Amino acid sequence: MASDKTAAVEKSISERLTEWGSSSLPPSLLATLITALHARPLQPLPLTLFTPTLLFSSYLNLSGYPTASAGLTAAWSGLYALLALRRRQTLRAKFSIRGIVRGTAVGLGAANCVAGGWVYLHGSKDRDRDERESRNRWGQFDDKK
């Protein structure tokens, strides 16, 4: 048994949602799954609508705009999940490799929608700006100091 000092600290649901919604990985992972599903046979509408938008959301997050990125991720991931759920599949198709990838994409889209919505509702654009200025990643805030 682990002692009290070495016991793992359990995170609350809100902390887990905040970490998931603030990460740049989930939208890029969903974009990868969407590409895998809709590249063959070629379906240009999902590829041109969802994939670039989700990749741009990851870029926004890495650029220091986590609140805006979370809102964009929540909206587009939720829209993809809703539209993907409208397509009906036979029972046999649900248990194929493609069906498992599709189910993963829908589940990830729903999780991104919930977590991104949570971060967007509890986020602050002023706090994001202050963090960007303190980090000064590209040196554009050198004049203010």
- 64-86 per-position pLDDT tens digit: 999 999 999 999 999 999 999 99
Q: Is 89 helix (H, G, I), strand (E, B) or coil?
A: coil
Q: Is the peptide bond before 41 cis (omega within 30 degrees of 0)?
A: yes
Q: pLDDT value at position 23?
A: 95
Residue 127 has pLDDT above 90, yes or no: yes
**DSSP string over 93-140:** HHTSHHHHHHHHHHHHHHHHHHHHHHHHHH--HHHHHHHHHHH-TTST
**Residue 5 — pLDDT band, cuts 50, 70, 90?**
low
Residue of higher predicted confidence among 10 and 126: 126
Share of the chain above pLDDT 90, in %: 77
**Residue 145 — pLDDT band, cuts 50, 70, 90?**
low
